[in-house]
Amino acid sequence: VSKASAILHADLDAFYASVEQRDEPRLRGRPVIVGGGVVLAASYEAKAHGVRTAMSERRARELCPSAIVVPPRIRQYADASKTVFEVFRRTSPVVEGLSIDEAFLDVRGMARIAGSPEDIAVGLRRDIREHVGLPITVGVARTKFLAKVASAVAKPDGLLVVPPNAELAFLHPLPIERLWGVGPATATKLHERGIATVGEVAVLAEATLISMLGRAAGRHLHALAHNRDPRRVDGARRRRSIGAQRALGRSSPKSPAALDANLVALVERLAHRLRAARRGCRTITLRLRFADFSRATRSHTLAEATAQTQTILSTSRRLLAAASPTIRRRGLTLLGLALANLDDDRAIQLALPFERDRDDALDTTLDELRDRFGAGAITRAVLLGRDPGLTVPLLPD
DNA sequence: TCTGGGGTCCTAGGACCC
DNA sequence: TCTGGGGTCCTAGGACCC
C-alpha cells in the first residue's frame, strides 16, 4: 500500500453555469444563474453576491440584480459530463463517479508512466480545460475523504495537495460543516455542545459521538476526525435506485385524474430508463410531499424483478390509492416515484423440455423468460448444457 | 431560505424463520 | 405453552449529497 497522497477528487466548478459561459461568450465574467423557479447552479460571479444553489429565483434576483438567468439545458450538461468522464478514464483506470460533475480517481502505482499524483492532477486540469473547455478543481490526498475536503477548500479552479505529514494540521482547524456527511441537523447537534471545529470533534470519545448522533454517524465522524478512512476508490459501483418526481405547485387540490396522468408519465419515463439500462427493479416507492412540506413514502416490494411498464404502473396505482386519504387531508405538492432493489444480477434458471428438431426452442425459452421477468430485467442469458463445458452465451453483453 | 430533481445510506419496528 | 437467541426482509422515515 502506497503511503503517497494518491487519490484525486476532481470536481467541476459551478458545472451548469460554466457550460453556459463556455457556450455563450457574452456570459463570461458575468453573474450567471441557471434555473427556472429555483437556482440549479450559479457562476462564481453570482455566488459572490450570496446566490446559492436551491435558492428561489426571486431571492437570487434580489441579491444579484445584474444576474443573467438562463434556462437549464440538461442534454448539453450530460454531453459535457460524458466527455469529462472520458478524460477521467484516460487519466486513471480506476474512476468512481459520485455525480454528474465529480469523481474519485485512484492514481496509485502510476508514478513511472504518468508522474507524481500532483503531476497527474495538473495534467488532468489542463486536459479538461483543453478538451472540454471547463474549469475543474482537484484535491489530492491519501484518502477519499481528505481529497474531497481538499477540493472543496481549493475551489474554484484550484489544485490542493494534502501531503501525508500535514493531514491533521490541515483537518483539525476546519469547521465541522466542511466534513462530508455533516449537514444542518448534525451541525446543530454539535454546535449545541459548543463544538465548532474538527479538532474539537477529535478529542471526543467515540461513545460520546455515538450517543449524540447514532451508531453509524458517530463512528463515521470519529474515524474521519482522526483521519481514518479505509474506503477504496471503487470503479465498479452500480446505481442502486432510479427515480423521478414532479412538483405540482401548491395552489388548488389536484383531481384524481390529474394525479393519475402524472403518475403514468413518471412510470413511463422510469420504465424506459430501466430498460435502457437493461435492469429490473423489485421495490417501487411512491414519494409524496405535502403543503406543509412534510413528506411521506409508500412502497411495495415484488417477488421478482420487473422492467414492465404495466407491472410498475399497477403497483404504483395501488400505492397512490392507499395514500389518497392522507393526500386529501394534507394537500399534495409533489409526486415522485423511485425504483430500487435493482436486480443485483441474480441468476434465474429456467428448464424447459427440449425438442430435438425444433429450431425455435431457444427463442421460445427466451420469450418465456422475458414474459416472466420483463425483457429489460434480463441482462445476460446463457444456455446450460447437460455436458460440462456446454455453456453458450445467448445475449452477449 | 417558503424550497427542483436526482441520488446514497442509516435506523427502527414488525413479520417471519430456524 | 407465553418463552431464548439469532437472523433476514420489508416498510417508513430521516439525514445528507450534488
Nucleotides on strand C lying under 7 Å from protein C-beta: 9-18
Q: What is the CA radius of gyration of chain A?
A: 25
Q: What is the pLDDT of residue A375?
A: 59
Distance CA A387, CA A9 (A): 49
- Considering the candidates A45, A62, A102, A118, report the single residue annotated as catalytic: A102
Phi, psi of A49 (to 5 degrees): -90, 5
**Separation of CA A303 and C1' B7 in angstroms?**
24
Is strand C in 7 Å reach of the CB of A214? no
**Separation of CA A216 and C1' B9 in angstroms?**
10
- CA A208 to chain CA mean position, Å: 31
Each residue of A245-279: b (16+ CB within 10 Å) or e? eeebeeeeebeeeebbebbeebbeebbebbbeebb
Helix (H, G, I), strand (E, B) or coil at A374: coil
Beta A159-161 vs A136-141: how paired, if at all? Answer: parallel
Cα-Cα end-to-end distance for chain A: 34
Q: How is residue A226 annotated by DSSP?
A: T
* Nearest-nucleotide field for A148 (CA, C1'): C17
* Nearest-nucleotide field for A301 (CA, C1'): C10
**Separation of CA A45 and C1' C7 in angstroms?**
56
Instruction: Name the residues in A46-75 having a C-beta closer than 7 Å to nucleic acid strand C.
Output: 54
- Identify, with chain letter, the residue nearest to nucleotide B10 (CA–C1'): A216
Distance CA A258, CA A317 (A): 13
Is strand C in 7 Å reach of the CB of A212? no
Helix (H, G, I), strand (E, B) or coil at A70: strand
Among A64, A62, A69, which residue's Cα sits nearest to residue A47? A64
Is strand C in 7 Å reach of the CB of A179? yes
* Nearest-nucleotide field for A273 (CA, C1'): B6
| A102 noted as active-site residue | yes
Are A117 and A147 within 8 A, CB to CB? Answer: no
DSSP string, A123-180: HHHHHHHHHT---EEEEEESSHHHHHHHHHHH-SS-EEE--GGGHHHHHTTSBGGGST
Residues 6+ apart with CB under 8 A from A318: A300
Among A235, A232, A207, which residue's Cα sits nearest to residue A221? A207
Q: What is the pLDDT of residue A254?
A: 82
Phi, psi of A257 (to 5 degrees): -65, -40
Residues 6+ apart with CB under 8 A from A204: A195, A222, A225
* Nearest-nucleotide field for A177 (CA, C1'): C16
Cα separation values, A17 from A10, A217, A366, Å: 17, 33, 47
- For residue A345, is it left (φ>0), alpha (ψ between -120 and 50) or beta? left
Q: How many Cβ atoms sit within 10 Å of the Cβ of residue A286? A: 23
Distance CA A60, CA A43 (A): 12
**Separation of CA A211 and C1' C5 in angstroms?**
26
* Nearest-nucleotide field for A250 (CA, C1'): B2
**Separation of CA A385 and C1' C16 in angstroms?**
49
Rounded to 10°, the helix A74-91/A117-131 angle is: 150
Is strand C in 7 Å reach of the CB of A176? no
Helix (H, G, I), strand (E, B) or coil at A309: helix
At A339-361, the pLDDT tens digits run 999 975 444 445 455 555 556 66
pLDDT beneath 70: ranges in chain A: 1-3, 252, 344-366, 368-397
Nucleotides on strand B lying under 7 Å from protein C-beta: 1-12
